[in-house]
A and B are shown apart, each in its own frame.
Chain A
Amino acid sequence: MARAVTTQHKTIATVAAWIVALLIFFPILYTIITSFKSEQEAIQGFALIPSGTFESYTEVQAQSGYFKFFFNSVLLSVGSTVLALLVAIPAAWSMAFSPTKRTKDILMWMLSTKMMPAVAVLFPIYLIFRDTGLLDSRIGLMVMLMLINLPIVVWMLYTYFREIPGEILEAARMDGASLWNEIIYVLTPMAVPGIASTMLLNIILAWNEAFWTIRLTTTEAAPLTAFISSFSSPQGLFWAKLSAASTLAIAPILIMGWFSQKQLVRGLTFGAVK
Chain B
Amino acid sequence: MKLRTLTLGLLSASALAFAAHAESITIATVNNGDMVRMQKLTDDFTKANPDIQLNWVTLEENVLRERVTTDIATKGGQYDVMTIGTYEVPIWAKQSWLLPLDKLGDDYDAKDIIPAIAGGLSVDGKLYAAPFYGESSFVMYRKDLMEKAGLKMPDAPTWDFIKQAADKMTDRANGVNGVCLRGKAGWGENMAFLTAMSNSFGARWFDENWKPQFDQPEWKKTLQFYVDLMKADGPEGASSNGFNENLALFQQGKCGMWIDATVAASFVSDPKASQVADKVGYALAPDNGLGKRGNWLWAWSLAIPAGTKKADAAEKFVSWATSKHYAELVASKEGWANVPPGTRSSLYANAEYQKAAPFAKMTLDSINAADPTHPTVKPVPYVGVQFVAIPEFQGLGTTVGQLFSAALAGQSSVDDALKQAQDAATAAMTEGGYIK
B interface residues, how many (CB within 8 angstroms)? 38
Chain B residues within an 8 Å CB radius of A45:
252
Q: How far is the CA of A229 from the CA of B431 in the complex (A)?
A: 34
Asked whether, in the complex, the Cβ of B273 is within 8 Å of the Cβ of A40, the reply is yes
Tell me, yes or no, whether B63 is within 8 Å of chain A by CB: yes
Judge whether A215 and B58 touch: CB under 8 Å. no
Q: Are A44 and B32 in contact (CB under 8 A)?
A: no
Chain A residues lying within 8 Å of B251, measured Cβ to Cβ, are 43, 237
Q: Any chain B CB within 8 A of the CB of A112?
A: no
Asked if B232 is at the interface of the complex by the 8 Å CB criterion, the answer is no
Q: Find the B residue at minimum CB distance from A214.
A: B63
Chain B residues near A222 (CB-CB < 8 A): 57
Write the nearest CB–CB distance from B87 to chain A, whole angstroms. 14
* Category for how many chain A residues contact B: 20 to 34
CA distance in complex: A232, B74 (Å): 26
Tell me, in angstroms, the Cα distance from A40 to B247 when the chains sit together.
12
- Asked if B70 and A233 make an inter-chain contact with CB atoms under 8 angstroms apart, the answer reads no
Residues of B within 8 A of A44 (CB): 252
Contact of A236 (CB < 8 Å), options: B32, B70, B75, B76? B32
A219 in contact (CB, < 8 A)? yes
Q: State which residues 222-238 of A face B: CB under 8 Å.
A: 222, 226, 229-238
> Contacting B31 at CB < 8 Å: which of A130, A219, A233?
A233
Determine which of A127, A229, A235 lies in contact with B59 in the assembled complex, contact meaning CB atoms within 8 Å.
Answer: A229
Q: B79 an interface residue at 8 Å Cβ cutoff?
A: yes
Which B residue's beta carbon lies closest to that of A136?
A: B78
| A123 close to B (CB within 8 Å) | yes
- Distance in angstroms between the alpha carbons of A136 and B247 in the assembled complex: 36
Cβ contacts under 8 Å, A238 to chain B: 31
B76 proximity list for chain A (CB < 8 A)? 126, 130, 135
Q: Which of B201-260 contact A (CB under 8 A)?
A: 243-244, 247-248, 251-252
Which residues from B are CB-within-8-Å of A235? 32-33, 243-244, 261, 263-264
Contacts of A229 in B (CB 8 A): 58-60, 63
Q: Mark A209-223, 1 if CB is under 8 A from B, else 0.
A: 000001100110010
A136 and B71 alpha carbons, distance in the complex (Å):
12
Distance in angstroms from B271 CB to nearest chain A CB is 10
Contact among A126, A136, A230, A237 for B70, CB-based, below 8 A: A126
In the complex, chain B residues whose CB is within 8 Å of the CB of A182: none
Q: What are the interface flags for B8-29 relative to A under an 8 Å C-beta threshold, 1 for contact and 0 otherwise?
A: 0000000000000000001010
Q: A218 near B26 (CB under 8 angstroms)?
A: yes
A236 to B244, Cβ gap below 8 A? yes
A179 sits at the interface (CB 8 A): no
- A39 contacts across to B, CB distance below 8 A: 272-273
Give every chain B residue within 8 A of A233 (Cβ-Cβ): 30-32, 60, 244
Residue of A nearest to B272 (CB): A40
Nearest CB of chain A from residue B266's CB, rounded to whole Å: 9
- Interface presence of B61 (CB below 8 A): yes
Decide yes or no whether B349 CB sits under 8 A from chain A. no
- Residue of B30, B32, B58, B77 most packed against chain A (CB within 10 A): B58
Q: Which of B57, B74, B263, B272 contacts A126 (CB 8 A)?
A: B74
When the two chains form their complex, are residues A234 and B32 in contact, meaning their CB atoms are under 8 A apart? yes
Residue of A nearest to B33 (CB): A236
Q: Does A64 contact B (CB under 8 A)?
A: yes
Which of B58, B247, B252, B272 is in CB contact (< 8 Å) with A64?
Answer: B58
Q: Are A236 and B267 in contact (CB under 8 A)?
A: yes
Q: How far is the CB of B215 from chain A (nearest CB, A)?
A: 32
Q: How far is the CA of A198 from the CA of B63 in the complex (A)?
A: 31
Q: Are B248 and A237 in contact (CB under 8 A)?
A: yes
- Any B CB within 8 A of the CB of A63: yes
Residues in A whose Cβ lies below 8 Å from that of B39: 63
Give a binary string over B26-62; 1 marks a CB under 8 Å from any A CB, 0 the rest: 1010111100100100000000000000011111110
Asked whether A130 lies within 8 Å of B79 as measured between CB atoms, the reply is no
Residues of B within 8 A of A215 (CB): 66-67, 70
Residues of A within 8 Å of B75, CB to CB, are 130
The answer to whether the Cβ of A122 comes within 8 Å of any Cβ in the partner chain is yes
Q: A229-B63, A235-B243, A238-B31 are in contact. Are A218 and B78 (CB under 8 A)?
A: yes
Q: Across the interface, name the chain B residue whose C-beta is closest to A219.
A: B55
A63 to B67, CA, bound (A): 21
Q: A130-B74, A229-B63, A233-B60 are in contact. List 19 more A-B contacts (CB 8 A).
A: A64-B58, A126-B70, A127-B74, A135-B78, A136-B78, A219-B26, A219-B55, A219-B56, A226-B57, A226-B59, A229-B60, A231-B58, A232-B31, A233-B244, A234-B188, A235-B32, A235-B264, A236-B244, A236-B247
Taking beta carbons and an 8 Å cutoff, which residues of B are in contact with A? Answer: 26, 28, 30-33, 36, 39, 55-61, 63, 66-67, 70, 74-79, 188, 243-244, 247-248, 251-252, 261, 263-264, 267, 272-273
